[in-house]
A and B are shown apart, each in its own frame.
Chain A
Amino acid sequence: MSVRISEGTPNAGTPATGAARTPRMADHLNAALHTLLESDPRVFVLGEDIRDPYGGAFKITKGLSSRFADRVLSTPLSEGTLVGAGAGLALAGEKAIVEIMFSDFVTLAFDQIVNFAAKSTTMYGRPVPVPLIVRCPTGGRRGYGPTHSQSLQKHFVGVPGLSLHELSPFHHAGELLTHLLSLGEPCVLFEDKVLYTERIFRDGVVDDLFRFDLVGGPSGWARVGVPGETRYDCTLIAPGGLTRRALAAMRALLIEDDLLCRLLVPARLYPLDLAPILGDVTGHVCVVEDGTAGGTWGAEVAQALYPRLWSRLTRPIGLVSAADSVIPTAAHLESAVLVGEDTIRLAVREALS
C-alpha cells in the first residue's frame, strides 16, 4: 500500500484543511427546494407540519411557505391522502414533492404509491406522466425507537413504474430533485436523518485521504477512493446515508489493517444502473445498507452483480445490513442492531483475512 498517513489526521468526513466549509445537508436540501419552487411555478410541496414557522420536523422546508404560500401546504395527518393528493396534482399537470414526516409512516401510503402513482404510469396502456417525489426522512441513530428509525427501502424494490433514490453528501440535491421531476414517474427519495446534520462534499474533496467524482448523471454514482489508486482490496457499495460510517471504516481499514477500499454510492437505488461503475469494482465486493436483514436491497444488488462479475470475483459478495430486529430506543441497544463503522470494518476484514 503506497498511501502515507500524516500525523494528526482529521477524522473521516472532515473537509480537507483550508477548504471552505460546505453547507450541511439540511440547508443544502432546503436551498434546493427554494430554487425549485422559484424556478418552476408548477411545483407543489405537501406534508405534515411543513409550513413556517415550524418548517417541517427536520426543518427541510423552512422558509418555503413564507415565499410560496399557495404551493407549500401543511396537510392533516393523512399520509395516504397527502401522497394521493400529490399524485392527483401530478395527474392534473403539476409537479408534486410530498414529505413523509418519518419514513416509517410511508407504509400508510403504500397503496397510493404502489397501486396508484406507480401503476398509473403504464396501466392505462400509454405513458401517463406522474411527476411525484415522495421524500422520506429515514434511518436510526437518533434514538427515536422502533417506529421512527427504520430504513424501508427494500419494501419498495421491484415495483414497476417506481424508482428509489437516496440523498448522498456527494450528489447535488437540487440537480437530483429536478431530474426526478423530469422522469414523469413517481420516485421515493430516502434521506438519512443523520446526514441532514452533516456537511456535504464538494469539488471532489472528501477529506485528507479520500477524493470523489460523479459518473452517470444526476442520479448516477459517486466514486470515492484514494487519488492515484486503481486496484482496491475491497469495493463497498452503499446508499448515501451510510457514507460517513463507510468512510470511517475505510480509514480504519487502511491505517490499521492495511486494506485499501473504495466506496461507490448510487443516488438511484432502484432500478440499479451498474454500467457506469462496473469497471470500478475491484477486489472483494461488499454491499452495505441500513435496512434489516432478509429480502434486502443488497441481495438485489448482489444478484445483479454476480453474472457481470463472476469471472472476477474471488469470494462471495458480502452483505451488511441491520440485524433482523426492531430498532431499540436506548443508544447502547440501538447501536447493537444498526450498521456502524465497526460492522463494516469487521465484515471487510473477516472476508479478506
Chain B
Amino acid sequence: MTSTILDRDTVPLSPPSGEDLDRLLLIRHFELTLLRLFGEGRLNGTTHTCLGQEYVPVALRPLLDDDDYVFSNHRGHGHFLARHDEPHGLLAEIMGREGALCAGVGGSQHIYHRRFLSTGVQGESMPVAAGVALSLKRAGDGGLACVHIGDGTWGEGAVYEALNLAALWRLPLLVVVEHNGIAQSTPTTAQMSGTIAARAAAFGAAHHRTDSIDLNLIRLELAEPVRRVREEGRPTVIEFVTRRVGPHSKGDDTRSAEELTRVRAADWYVRYAAAFPEVFAAADEAQRLRMARITDEVAARPPSVWRAAP
C-alpha cells in the first residue's frame, strides 16, 4: 500500500464544491469533537471515529438515492452525516441528550434513522442488507442496499454467505469496503490471505478498486458500477484504498510513529488544504465554529428519555 499512497500523492486534486468541502469538514470536526469530549470525560462508553475516511461516504453521497438503504458499522458517523445533515441528532445520540436519533439507546454504533441503519457486530448487516435488497428488487424501483464494511470484516463468514446469496439472486447490493489496512490493532497482512478482488470474483460479484481521494474523480469512476447495481441487480464490491488517521477507538493506536507520519501525510485533509489553501481554510474555520456551536447547544440539553422502554 505504500506505493499506492505515494503514486496517488502526485496526482493533482480537482476542486471540490463548497458543499462537498463543508460536508467533509463537518465530519472531520464532528469526530475531533468526540475525541476531545472523551478526553474531557464528557462522553460515556466508546466511539470509533472515521478520521481520514470521511471522503468515502461524501464521494458516494450523490450516487445514492433517498430510497436506498445504507447499512453502516462501528465507524459510522461519517456515513450518517454524509447522508443526513443532522449532526445535532447524532451528537445528542452519542451524548445521551434530548433530540437523540435513537433516544440514546443505540449510541455511537446503533443508529436507525430513515433508511440508514448501523449495528455493532461485524459482518452482521450483510445478510440483512441482502434481505432488504431482495425486497427492493421485488419493488422494482431501482433501489439498492449499500453496506459499509472494513477490510477486517472479511474475516466474518456472514460476508461470504451474503455475497453468495446476493450474486446468486442478482440482488442490488453495493458493498463498500473501506480498506484502511488495519483492523483494530491487526494489520491486514496479518489477517487476510489473498485479496478482496479475488474474493468478489469467486462469487461472480463485480469489483472496483479505487485509491483516489478526489471526490469528483471517485464519482466518475463509480457512476457506472453503481448504475449497474441498480439496473442489473449486479452485486458489486467497491474497495476504497484508504487510511485510518486516528486511533481505532479513543486512544488505542499501536502503530509506529513512522507509520503514523506516513498515513497522516496522505490524509485528504492535508492534501485538500495544500491544494486549495484559501477556500479550504475558510471552510475549515466555518465548520469548526459550526461544530463548536452544535456541541454547546447539545451539551446544554437535558438527558434523553427512552419513551419506548419495554
A residues sitting closer than 8 Å to B (CB atoms) are 44, 70, 73, 75-76, 78, 80-94, 96, 111-112, 115-116, 120, 122-128, 160-161
Contacts and interface: CB of A to CB of B under 8 A. Distances in A.
Contacts of B110: 123-124
Nearest to A132: B131
A96 B131 contact: yes
B128 A84 contact: yes
Contact of B132 (A73, A92, A125): A92
Interface stretch (B42-50, B161-169, B235-243): B161-169
Contacts of A91: 117, 128, 131-132
Most A-side CB within 10 Å, residue of B103, B106, B127, B131:
B131
B127 A125 contact: no
Contacts of B164: 76, 78, 81
Contacts of A73: 169
21 contacts: A76-B165, A81-B130, A85-B134, A88-B127, A88-B128, A89-B131, A92-B131, A111-B121, A112-B127, A112-B128, A115-B119, A116-B125, A123-B106, A123-B110, A124-B105, A124-B106, A125-B102, A125-B304, A126-B103, A126-B307, A126-B308
Nearest to A75: B165
B41 interface: no
B106 A125 contact: yes
Given A84-B162, A124-B106, 6 more contacts: A76-B161, A80-B158, A81-B161, A111-B124, A112-B124, A120-B112
Contacts of B111: 124
Nearest to B135: A92
Nearest to A85: B131
B262 interface: no
Contact of A80 (B117, B127, B168, B304): B127
Contacts of A122: 105, 308, 310
Contacts of A112: 124, 127-128
Contacts of A80: 127, 157-158, 161
B124 A81 contact: no
Contacts of B145: 88
Interface in B66-112: 69, 100-106, 110-112
